[in-house]
Amino acid sequence: MVVRSVELRPDPPADPRHTQIVINADLQRPLEDGAYLDVTVRLGRVKLVAHSFDLLKELQANGTVSPWQHHIPPGPLTLAFPPLRSLLNDTRPGRYVVLVNAHAAEDELLASVYITVDFEAP
């Protein structure tokens, strides 16, 4: 997997409760069902979230692949995460660090994305 770009919506981000992360990548080979994403969100040194997502189910949910597909074909791929509010119980101003590791079903590391977003106090 080759990551082409990472976007924040809206840009510039104003509120962690309404900020969405979008990763645009190119798959070099097909991925079978079982590929997953490990997502960690930190605020400073405090780990707020450590969660795994089924990659195929996330792509089916956002309409990138059909619900009946059992693999992800090679080519361009857009992965839009839900807004951070759905991952976080508490949102406050500060520097958020999001680490996303994409893995194949066999646990092979496909890509890592490290994102830092600063939210200032209103």
Amino acid identity at 18: H
**What are the φ and ψ backbone dihedral angles of 17, each rounded to 5 degrees?**
-70, -20
* pLDDT tens digit at each of 122 positions of the chain: 899 999 988 777 776 667 788 889 999 998 888 999 998 988 888 888 888 988 888 888 877 778 888 888 899 988 887 655 555 666 677 888 889 999 999 999 999 999 888 877 55
Q: Nearest-CA neighbor of 105 among 50, 56, 61? A: 56
CB-CB contact of 87 with 51 (8 Å): yes
For residue 69, give the 3-state DSSP assignment. coil
User: For the whole model, what pTM was predicted?
Assistant: 0.81
Q: Nearest-CA neighbor of 82 among 105, 104, 51? A: 51
**What are the φ and ψ backbone dihedral angles of 60, each rounded to 5 degrees?**
-65, -40
Please report, in angstroms and rounded to a whole number, the separation of the first and last CA atoms in the chain: 38
* Alpha-carbon separation of residue 87 from 17, 18, 59, 84, 91 (angstroms): 9, 11, 17, 5, 10
The helix (run of H) or strand (run of E) holding residue 55 is helix 55-61
For the chain, domains (ranges, CATH) are 2-119 (2.70.220.10)
